[in-house]
C-alpha cells in the first residue's frame, strides 16, 4: 500500500469533489521479548513494523462521519452526536472508542469527516492491528482537531483507554506505546509501570526477523487474556500478605523464589513465575542486544516461549508447532510466540542465508501437522505513527 493507492481508492469511494484527503500511517508491532509483563508493571521490548494501517481522511461540510475500510465490507455513517455508541461486533468500534476518549478531553470534531482505512497487518494475528487502527485515528484527531494537544506518550495512553473502556479488552500499554513512539531500526525498552523508555538500536547484520502467522483466528476479547490478568492480580494479593508490592513487576526473580511458596495455588504460582522470570529475560535480552550477542538473544527468545508454554499456558498447538519446526532449521537462533497467544504469530531470529529454507520447510511441516497454511513476513523495523501526505 502507498499513499497514492489509498487516495485513488478514496476517490473511488467518496468522489473527487472537495479537498484532497490527508493520509496517515500507523505501524503494527512485534514484541521481541517480554510477553504478558506489560499489564503486570514489568518490562517489554517491542519494535514497530513497516506493516501497518493507512488512513485517508477528508473534512466535509456535513455533520456525520463516514467509516469505510478496504479490509472489511462493513461501512457506516454516524452523526457527530452519536459517536459514543458502539456498533455490535464491528471493526469501527476501534476508531469510535478513540473519538469517545478524545471527547472526554474536550476535543471533538466540529465538521463531518470521510475516512478510509487500509491495513496490511493480518487481523487477529497478534501484531496489534487494533492498536494500529486506534493510534492512526488518534493521531489524526489530535493533529486536526486537538492542535497537537497530546504528545505521543499521552496519545498512546488515550488509545489504551479506548481499548480498555470502549472495546472491553483489558490490555496493557505496550501495543499502543510501540506503534506511537517506534523508531526505524530501534526497539523500545519500556518500563510499563513508569513509562520510562529507551530506544535501543537493532543491528541485524546477516540476520532477519521472520514473523510466522499460524492463521488460527482468534478474538482477543474472547480469549483467556482477561483470565490471565486476573490470575496475576490474585498472585499479588497472596504475596501482599508477606511483602507489599504494587504488581508482579516489582519483584526480582530472587525475591519471588523466596516468596513463591506463599502462593498456595499451584496454577497462580506458575503464572507469577512466568511474569517475574520473563521480566528478567527482557532485561538480559536488552543487554545482549547492546553487546551484539545475538546468540544469547536467541537463547532468551527460546526460554521465553518455553515459559509461555509451560507456566503461562497461552501458546497452544499451532504456536508450539511453528516454534518446534523453526528450531529444527539450521540458522535459527531463537523462536517464540509473540502477542497475547492462543493463536497469532511467532517471531524468529534467522540467519539471512536460511530465510528461504525456513519459509519452505517450516511452512510444509506446519501444514502437515496442523492442516493450516501459515503466512510468513520478513520484517523490517519501522517508524511510529505519522502523517504521510
Active site residues: 175
pLDDT of residue 249: 95
Instruction: Say whether pLDDT at 221 is over 50.
Output: no
SS3 of 337, please? Answer: strand
CATH of domain 207-379: 3.30.70.890
Class of CATH domain 3-201+383-387: alpha beta
Neighbouring-strand partners of residue 48: 29
pLDDT in tens, 60-79: 999 999 999 999 999 999 99
Neighbouring-strand partners of residue 60: 112
CA distance 327 to 306: 12
CA distance 231 to 324: 28
Order across the sheet with 112-119: list the strands.
76-79, 64-69, 112-119, 46-60, 22-31, 386-387
Q: How confident is residue 310, by pLDDT bands cut at 50, 70 and 90?
A: very high
Average pLDDT over the chain, rounded to whole?
94
Query: Rounded mean pLDDT of 329-346?
Result: 93
Q: Who wins on pLDDT, 186 or 224?
A: 186
Neighbouring-strand partners of residue 335: 348
Query: Rounded mean pLDDT of 133-159?
Result: 97
Q: How confident is residue 126, by pLDDT bands cut at 50, 70 and 90?
A: low
Query: Rounded mean pLDDT of 371-378?
Result: 95
Q: Are 10 and 69 in contact (CB under 8 A)?
A: no
Lowest mean pLDDT among 196-200, 259-263, 339-343: 339-343
Query: Rounded mean pLDDT of 228-246?
Result: 96
DSSP alpha helix (H) spans, 182-265:
225-239, 253-259
pLDDT of residue 129: 86
Q: Are 108 and 145 in contact (CB under 8 A)?
A: yes
Lowest mean pLDDT among 169-173, 200-204, 306-310, 362-366: 169-173
Query: Rounded mean pLDDT of 252-261?
Result: 96
pLDDT in tens, 155-181: 999 999 999 999 988 788 999 999 999
Cβ contacts of 125 within 8 Å, gap of 6 or more: 213, 214, 339, 344, 345
pLDDT of residue 218: 67
CA distance 169 to 230: 13
CA distance 186 to 200: 5
pLDDT in tens, 26-57: 999 999 999 999 999 999 999 999 889 999 99
The x, y and z cell numbers of residue 17, run together, are 469533489
**Across the chain, how many H-helices and E-strands are there?**
11, 13
Instruction: Say whether pLDDT at 290 is over 80.
Output: yes
Q: Who wins on pLDDT, 148 or 220?
A: 148
CA triple 191-197-200, angle to 5 deg: 120
pLDDT of residue 111: 94
Q: How confident is residue 18, by pLDDT bands cut at 50, 70 and 90?
A: confident
SS3 of 262, please? Answer: helix
The x, y and z cell numbers of residue 351, run together, are 540467519
Phi then psi for residue 112, to 5 deg, are -70, 165
How many other C-beta atoms can be found within 10 angstroms of the C-beta atom of residue 330? Answer: 9
Q: Are 313 and 268 in contact (CB under 8 A)?
A: no
Query: Rounded mean pLDDT of 15-20?
Result: 89
CA distance 280 to 278: 5
Q: Are 182 and 175 in contact (CB under 8 A)?
A: no
DSSP alpha helix (H) spans, the chain:
3-14, 93-104, 129-144, 152-161, 174-181, 225-239, 253-259, 266-290, 294-310, 317-327, 355-370
Of 103, 110, 88, whose CA–CA distance to 76 is shortest? 88
* Pairing mode, strands 64-69 and 112-119: parallel
Indicate the domain borders of the chain: 3-201+383-387, 207-379
Instruction: Say whether pLDDT at 364 is over 60.
Output: yes
Percentage of the residues of the chain whose pLDDT score is greater than 90: 86
The x, y and z cell numbers of residue 359, run together, are 519459509
Q: How confident is residue 11, by pLDDT bands cut at 50, 70 and 90?
A: very high
Amino acid at each position: 500500500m502507498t499513499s497514492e493507492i489509498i487516495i485513488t481508492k478514496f476517490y473511488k469511494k467518496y468522489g473527487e469533489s472537495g479537498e484532497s484527503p490527508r493520509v496517515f500511517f500507523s505501524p503494527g508491532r512485534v514484541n521481541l521479548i517480554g510477553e504478558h509483563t506489560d499489564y503486570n508493571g514489568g518490562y517489554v521490548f517491542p519494535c514497530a513494523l513497516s506493516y501497518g494501517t493507512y488512513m485517508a481522511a477528508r473534512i466535509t461540510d456535513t455533520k456525520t462521519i463516514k467509516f469505510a475500510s478496504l479490509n472489511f465490507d462493513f461501512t457506516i455513517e454516524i452523526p457527530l452526536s452519536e459517536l459514543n455508541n458502539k456498533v455490535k461486533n464491528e471493526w469501527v468500534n476501534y476508531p469510535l472508542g478513540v473519538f469517545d476518549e478524545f471527547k472526554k478531553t474536550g476535543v471533538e470534531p466540529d465538521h463531518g469527516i470521510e475516512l478510509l482505512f487500509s491495513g496490511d497487518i493480518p487481523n487477529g494475528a497478534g501484531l496489534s492491528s487494533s492498536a494500529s487502527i486506534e493510534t492512526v485515528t488518534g493521531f489524526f484527531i489530535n493533529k486536526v482537531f486537538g492542535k497537537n494537544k497530546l504528545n505521543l506518550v499521552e496519545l498512546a495512553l488515550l488509545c489504551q483507554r479506548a481499548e480498555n473502556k470502549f472495546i472491553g479488552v483489558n490490555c496493557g500499554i505496550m501495543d499502543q506505546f510501540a506503534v506511537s513512539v517506534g523508531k526505524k531500526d530501534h526497539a523500545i525498552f519500556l518500563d510499563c509501570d513508569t513509562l520510562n523508555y529507551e530506544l535501543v538500536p537493532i543491528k541485524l547484520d546477516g540476520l532477519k526477523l521472520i514473523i510466522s502467522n499460524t492463521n488460527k483466528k482468534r478474538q482477543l476479547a474472547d480469549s483467556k487474556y482477561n483470565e490471565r490478568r486476573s490470575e496475576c492480580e490474585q498472585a499479588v494479593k497472596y504475596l501482599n500478605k508477606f511483602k507489599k508490592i504494587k504488581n508482579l513487576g516489582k519483584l526480582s526473580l530472587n525475591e519471588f523464589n523466596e516468596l513463591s511458596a506463599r502462593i498456595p495455588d499451584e496454577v497462580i504460582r506458575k503464572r507469577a513465575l512466568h511474569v517475574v522470570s520473563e521480566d528478567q529475560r527482557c532485561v538480559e535480552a536488552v543487554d545482549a542486544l547492546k553487546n551484539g550477542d545475538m546468540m544469547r538473544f536467541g537463547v532468551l527468545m527460546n526460554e521465553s516461549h518455553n515459559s509461555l508454554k509451560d507456566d503461562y499456558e497461552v501458546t497452544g498447538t499451532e504456536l508450539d508447532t511453528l516454534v518446534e519446526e523453526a528450531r529444527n532449521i539450521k540458522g535459527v537462533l531463537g523462536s517464540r510466540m509473540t502477542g497475547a497467544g492462543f493463536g497469532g504469530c511467532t517471531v524468529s531470529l534467522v540467519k539471512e542465508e536460511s530465510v528461504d529454507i525456513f519459509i519452505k520447510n517450516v511452512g510444509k511441516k506446519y501444514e502437515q501437522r496442523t492442516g493450516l497454511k501459515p503466512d510468513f513476513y520478513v520484517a523490517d523495523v519501522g517508524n511510529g505513527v505519522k502523517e504521510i501526505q
